[in-house]
Amino acid sequence: MSGYAVKKEELYTWADYQKWPDEERWEIIDGEAYMMSPAPTTRHQAILGAIAREFLNHFHNKRCKPFLSPVDVKLSEEDIVQPDIVVVCDDKQIKETHIEGAPALAVEIVSPSSTVHDRMRKMRLYAEAGIKEYWIVTPHPSMVEIFLLDGKNYRMHATFGRGDVLVSGIFKNLKINLKEVFSFPLTADEKKIYEVKESPAKYRIP
């Protein structure tokens, strides 16, 4: 979730970021400050909680550790973000106040207001920073897109829908039944997207 750039005339750094009020949520990309959107929707929180539960169970007593938003991830002096979930596999990156450097995996749950931010600014930044796997989660139509780092860019690895079992690209044993993630009720209009209607008789294959 993210909003709009502010004060583009001035570039900000980690030192500036640390002085800002704790009750305000910001991200800095290429030195530009972006205000996070207001409180997330209940759907966003339900999805976050479901994925977090799967991550916490899977990585329990393992070397890699998941962290949930809000957690500061410092990718450089001018790039500080708050992904919805990250997985860190190097204990040296885990500081008392933040994560230092690129996590192995990052998850963003998008909203209409954050689509450009998550799909363009953050995708470019995450690739440049060296995050190996990036998930973009869309509440509706319900799907998870997984991108894997290939050189300095991401390539599409797989897309999973509401009824699929997701399999991570780099954590091969991490599997998530997305029925449990996208378990929230749909509106009547939303349900139409998932309906499979029988073809008219004249087009039906005998």
How long is the chain? 206
Measured between alpha carbons, how far is 90 from 200 in angstroms, rounded to an integer? 57
Q: Which fold would CATH assign to domain 40-187? A: tt1808, chain A (3.90.1570)
Give the closest residue to 183 by CA, choosing from 58, 50, 1.
50
Task: Go through 191-204 and write b for each residue having 16 or more CB atoms within 10 A of its CB, e for each that does not.
Answer: eeeeeeeeeeeeee
pLDDT for position 196: 54
| pLDDT tens string 55-83 | 999 999 999 999 999 999 999 999 999 99
The first and second tokens of residue 183, run together, are 């378990």
Closest by CA position to 167, among listed 125, 122, 118, 133: 133
Contact 20, 26 (CB under 8 A): yes
pLDDT value for 7: 60
Residue 205 pLDDT grade (very low, low, confident, very high; cuts 50, 70, 90) = very low
Q: Is the pLDDT reported for residue 116 higher than 90?
A: no
Percent share of the chain, pLDDT over 70:
89
Residues 123-164 pLDDT 10s = 999 999 999 999 999 998 999 999 999 999 999 999 999 999
Whole-number Å distance between alpha carbons of 61 and 55: 12
Judged against a pLDDT cut of 80, whether residue 1 lies above it is answered with: no
Q: What is the pLDDT of residues 103-112, one digit of tens each?
A: 999 999 998 8
**Tokens 């001035």 sit at which residue?**
10
